[in-house]
Chains A and B, each alone.
Chain A
């Protein structure tokens, strides 16, 4: 009998959630600034995620236009690098830039004068990065869209959607699925668990640091 009670207590204590991880997240709006010459955004995003499959944010670019030049003064090839907008690390990794995680990529296209967007996944298994560009949705400064990333419980898969900023309509503008296909895993590095990691700060680059100040507003809707 005593043994059973002991086992009960051990099992219950091993299942308990860490109550100290009390970070206010849902409903929070944060404006991130990337200073000229930096890669990392201020403030740094440190909030953990550990219990959901569904991630949704409303994004507004306050300042997004930039021009990266090469030594001859022409537009640099680095202009095509993907900057990281938001997202999360996953599968018990806490550094999504080198570990595992799902992010939204963005870059300013100076010729088309628009912000291009992409699904951007890091997979630590083979140190690979997988990018698929959204082909129908583009943004500009002061426009807003909702970005949703759903982690699949049973498959190594993320489903990205871009939706209208007004959540009542919930109209999906474009969808991209990132998943395991044969030997290539463009999706989640794990399955069977909710997203476990932390939120990712916006990051400029790419190779070069921000040539001018960047400002992005993120409203955390679902976590």
Chain B
């Protein structure tokens, strides 16, 4: 019994001293996700105010919507499934509306765009 305790203590000391990864500070994942998604939301709103005469509005929105979709998919296993599907559908519809340059319906969607988790 005593021998087992010493072996276990030894294993712990070895782990904490030999592996630098154990000094890694853990990410507060929920806070991180919330901030990133709120920044996507802000960026999409900023782009929506641009003029699309030279295609800048479509280009700008396309970059963020594609990126937000990738971020969401990368984090799928960390999100509630219903919320994930809802946000994914909104982003997908937004991309279709941009492709058709349907700005009236895009503005309606934007008002209801909810990237909150």
A, B co-complexed: yes
- A18–B75 CA distance with the chains assembled, in angstroms: 12
Complex CA–CA separation, A21 to B1 (angstroms): 40
> Mind listing 26 A-B residue pairs with CB under 8 Å?
A20-B77, A35-B47, A36-B50, A37-B46, A37-B49, A38-B46, A38-B60, A40-B42, A42-B63, A42-B64, A43-B63, A43-B64, A43-B67, A44-B36, A44-B39, A44-B40, A46-B36, A50-B26, A51-B24, A92-B25, A92-B27, A92-B28, A94-B35, A95-B35, A196-B27, A201-B39
**Complex Cα distance A43/B11, Å?**
45
User: Nearest residue in B to A94 (C-beta to C-beta)?
Assistant: B35
Chain B residues lying within 8 Å of A198, measured Cβ to Cβ, are 32, 35-36
A48 on the interface (CB 8 Å rule)?
A: yes
If A44-B67, A46-B71 touch, whether A17 touches B77 (CB-CB below 8 Å) is no
Looking at A40, A48, A198, which has the most chain B CB atoms within 10 Å of its CB?
A: A40
Q: How many residues of B contact A (CB 8 A)?
A: 39
| 6 further contact pairs, Cβ within 8 A, besides A18-B26, A43-B64 | A40-B43, A42-B64, A44-B40, A50-B27, A94-B36, A198-B36
Give CA–CA (A102, B10) in the complex, Å: 39
How far, in whole Å, are A194 and B23 apart by their CA atoms in the complex? 8
- Complex interface: chain B residues within 8 A of A94 (CB): 28, 31-32, 34-36
Contact residues in A for B78 (Cβ distance below 8 Å): 20
* Contact of A193 with B by CB under 8 A: yes
Known A44-B64, A92-B28, A94-B32; judge A4-B39 contact (CB<8 A). Answer: no
Given contacts A42-B64, A94-B32, A94-B35, contact A194 B47 (CB under 8 A): no
Asked whether any CB of chain A lies closer than 8 Å to the CB of B101, the reply is: no
Tell whether, in the assembled complex, residue B22 and residue A15 are in contact, meaning their CB atoms are under 8 Å apart: yes
Query: Please, which residues of chain B bring their CB within 8 A of the CB of A11?
Result: 12
